[in-house]
Amino acid sequence: MRTLERTYRAVFLTSALLLSVIGLVFVQSAGSYWGEVHYQDSSPFIVKQAIYMAVSLSIAYALYRSPLTSHPKFWTYFYVGSILMLVAVLIPGIGVVRNGSQSWIALGPISLQPAEFVKVALLGKLASSMKRNKKKSWQWQDFALILLPATLIMMQPDLGSAVIMIVSAFVILFLAGYPLSFFIFLFVSGVTAFIGLILAAPYRLDRIKSYIDPWNDPLGTGFQGIQSLFAIAPGGLFGHGLGNSRQKFLYLPEPQNDFIFSIIAEEIGFIGAASIILLFILLLASTFGIAIRLRDWNSFLVVSGMVSMIIFQTFLNMGVVSGLLPVTGVTLPFISYGGSSLLTTWLAVGTILHFSKGKRMG
């Protein structure tokens, strides 16, 4: 049995490392020309991403080894700190506006995106606060834990991060035994809120229109979706070859970020893209194997919540770049360029590995 558990952990960690290494390769491939045009250097993104990866792996290892990771107070402090960062990002002079959203805090040459970190903090805090077999009725304090950061993130606004965080938190609530009436209430409330958000910000309605018919505004709201499909479709079975993307030559904006999977499909084709999807499936399957063997119930919730965040974000990103979902600004875990995104993903990996050893909360 212990051998099987070690095998699951090995498959999980190997999948995560391979995905990150693939990310380094394609951040360089996708971002080289963008770097030459905007920074007169073909390697600024790969250098930064390599540094981000080294830092992320170090912090993930610290989480894996530290006994503090098992203590509920750690997650309380992490959660409170993340909330304070979300408040700070909304303060003029501290928060930085990029692509229409005030989602960043600039610290000299380093930029942090608090919405990324709060996803991990919330899941850890929520899972550590759950009491088994006591969820026959609604617990509004749990709902408040989710609503507070979700509201702050939507004020930026950042719909993608809010949706990923809420869905992952609901996985924990579902596994904790929350009644069906709770989720029906949330579904109705969510649909109502979604309509309200569209009415409050017309650009979201434009995105939905461009999703239905991107050719209605091919140079505006439909541009990214169309250019993404222009990258994926010609890739065929084996692609044009590593480094031979055509869409990265300023057709697809910032291809090293949210739409990096389009470049991957263009350069290494269906076989390569499917192999990456397979790695994510192995990541999910191995984590499932880890979770169902955990004896501590709170640890089971932590592991389940963390992997649901990674997999749902992956589904959302791939759905967007393939035209199956409306354009939403979310990164591809492990692979897209960005320090906050990569660090958040590896925080989740370190946490999963920590609790995979059978660590107990408290």
pLDDT digits (tens, 9 = 90+) for 11-40: 999 999 999 999 999 999 999 888 888 888
83 has pLDDT over 90: yes
Global pTM? 0.93
Is 362 domain-assigned? no
DSSP three-state, residue 105: strand
* Residue 138 or 33, more confident: 33
Cis ω for the linkage preceding 157 (within 30 of 0): yes
Is 39 domain-assigned? yes
- Residue 348: which pLDDT band, with cuts at 50, 70 and 90? very high
Report the share of the chain in percent with pLDDT over 90.
Answer: 55
In 3D space, the residue among 311, 312, 337 whose CA is nearest the CA of residue 259 turns out to be: 337
pLDDT attached to residue 358: 72
Q: Express each pLDDT in 302-335 by its tens digit.
A: 999 999 999 999 999 999 999 888 888 899 999 9
pLDDT attached to residue 360: 64
User: Within its chain, how far is the Cα of 195 from the centroid?
Assistant: 24
User: Within its chain, how far is the Cα of 123 from the centroid?
Assistant: 13
- Whether residue 292 contacts residue 348, with contact meaning beta carbons closer than 8 Å, is answered with no
The helix (H) or strand (E) run that includes residue 95 is strand 95-98
The strand order across the sheet containing 101-107 reads 95-98, 101-107, 110-112
Is 208 domain-assigned? yes
Q: What residues have CB less than 8 Å from 84, skipping those under 6 apart?
A: none
pLDDT attached to residue 264: 96
Q: Which amino acid is at 308?
A: S
Is 300 domain-assigned? yes
> Given CA atoms 182, 187, 188, 190 in this order, what sign does their dihedral have?
positive
pLDDT attached to residue 290: 94
The residue-averaged pLDDT of 159-174 equals: 91
pLDDT attached to residue 214: 76
Is 361 domain-assigned? no
209 has pLDDT over 80: no
The residue-averaged pLDDT of 147-159 equals: 89
Write out the DSSP string of 154-190: HTTT-HHHHHHHHHHHHHHHHHTT--HHHHHHHHHHH
pLDDT attached to residue 310: 98
Domain count for the chain: 1
Q: Express each pLDDT in 115-129 by its tens digit.
A: 999 999 999 999 988
The residue-averaged pLDDT of 39-60 equals: 92
Q: Which amino acid is at 95?
A: G
Q: Which domain holds residue 135?
A: 2-356
